């Protein structure tokens, strides 16, 4: 069965979100006691091993990127590092569903950024959906109110970095293998963890259980990495990005099952607002696509 580019992008995005949610859960469960940089480094050793094997099997290392693509891959890796540090710091200090919900502003932020920087079309209804979605983020963050947690702001920083990461990936040449891009990102993050350990001089001997959980986290991360890169290179960015909301099902379920966390009332309200804005964007784009077909 031949799937349309948008359907393939939607399937890849859903798989990516499942991988990232499972990775976040495993990392929070197995790495919180070790510290941020050590958890990133240990997980990264497994991640780059897996990704290197995959890239080699796919022949990704035989492709020599042009200078333009080298710059884009470097910029994407920088954005990946920023997103990882800000998101994981927030993850270790917030319930899984809360920080995941904040990141659901990504379909809206990417749509807005694609319109501003890539000249992709955007109408008044889509702008309204973006505004409503960001109001949902403010409901979750609740700046200045009793339920405010400063670590929530790091979630917004992560949104900005991931937006940069995904738009950069979209500009890569079609000849650049997704596996190569994902390997470089994994290598950059692992090196960041190693440098962080050297700077902080904070190393604890991990247990075999912790190592096993972090290894499992690496497997899930690689699924998320590869599918995330491949996702942004097929289909319409506004439609494909809307499927990020599937991660909330994973985050709420895993947060309750593993950590016993249940989102409070206002967090649920914010989730519904963000999800509604994303679903409206997806519905409208599908409607416009259908109308344009002969």
Is residue 215 very low, low, confident or very high in pLDDT (cuts 50, 70, 90)? Answer: very high
Confidence label for 45 from pLDDT (cuts 50, 70 and 90): very high
Distances (CA, A) of 5 to 88, 227, 236, 239: 32, 14, 8, 10
Instruction: Look at 145 and 72; give whichever has higher pLDDT.
Output: 72
Query: Is the predicted pLDDT of residue 118 greater than 60, yes or no?
Result: yes
> For the chain, first and last CA: distance in Å?
22
- pLDDT at position 289: 57
Going by pLDDT thresholds of 50, 70 and 90, the confidence category of residue 129 is confident
Q: What is the pLDDT, as a whole number, of residue 267?
A: 84
What is the DSSP secondary structure assignment for residue 255, as one 8-state letter? I
**Could you read off the pLDDT of 61-117 as tens digits, one per residue?**
888 889 999 999 999 999 999 999 999 999 998 888 888 888 877 777 877 887 777
pLDDT of residue 210 exceeding 80: yes
Highest mean pLDDT among 10-24, 74-88, 89-103, 141-155: 74-88
Kindly report the CA angle at 226 between 220 and 227, in degrees rounded to 5?
A: 90
For 233-275, what is each residue's pLDDT tens digit?
Answer: 777 766 776 677 788 888 898 999 999 888 888 888 888 888 7
- pLDDT for 203: 84
Q: Return the pLDDT at 286.
A: 63
Q: How high does pLDDT run on average in the chain?
A: 84
Predicted local confidence at residue 197, as pLDDT: 93
| pLDDT above 70: percentage of residues in the chain | 89
What is the pLDDT averaged over residues 114-139?
A: 77
b/e code 76-106 from CB counts within 10 Å (16+ = b): bbbbbbbbbbbbbbbbbebbbbbbbbbbbbb
Which residues in 136-257 belong to E strands, given as ranges?
none
Q: Rg of the chain's alpha carbons, rounded to an integer?
A: 19
- For residue 275, what pLDDT is reported? 79
């Amino acid at each position: 069965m031949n799937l349309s580019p948008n359907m393939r992008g939607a399937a890849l995005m859903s798989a990516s979100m499942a991988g990232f949610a499972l990775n976040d859960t495993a990392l929070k469960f197995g790495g919180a006691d070790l510290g941020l940089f050590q958890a990133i480094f240990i997980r990264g050793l497994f991640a780059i091993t897996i990704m290197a094997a995959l890239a080699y099997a796919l022949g990704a290392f035989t492709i020599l990127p042009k200078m333009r693509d080298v710059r884009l891959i470097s910029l994407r890796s920088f954005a990946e590092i920023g997103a990882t540090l800000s998101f994981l710091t927030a993850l270790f200090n917030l319930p899984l569903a809360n920080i995941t919900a904040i990141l659901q502003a990504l379909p809206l932020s990417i749509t807005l950024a694609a319109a501003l920087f890539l000249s992709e079309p955007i109408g008044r209804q889509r702008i309204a959906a973006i505004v409503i979605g960001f109001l949902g983020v403010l409901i979750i963050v609740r700046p200045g109110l009793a339920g405010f947690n400063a670590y929530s702001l790091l979630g917004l920083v992560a949104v900005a970095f991931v937006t940069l990461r995904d738009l950069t990936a979209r500009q890569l040449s079609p000849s650049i293998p997704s596996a190569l891009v994902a390997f470089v990102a994994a290598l950059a993050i692992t090196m960041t963890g190693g440098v962080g350990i050297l700077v902080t001089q904070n190393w604890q001997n991990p247990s075999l259980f912790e190592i096993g959980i972090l290894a499992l986290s690496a497997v899930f991360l690689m699924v998320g990495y590869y599918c995330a890169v491949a996702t942004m290179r097929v289909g319409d960015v506004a439609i494909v990005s809307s499927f990020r909301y599937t991660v909330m099902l994973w985050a709420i379920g895993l947060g309750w099952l593993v950590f016993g966390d249940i989102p409070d009332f206002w967090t649920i309200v914010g989730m519904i607002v963000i999800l509604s804005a994303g679903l409206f964007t997806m519905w409208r784009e599908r409607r416009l696509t259908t109308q344009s077909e002969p």
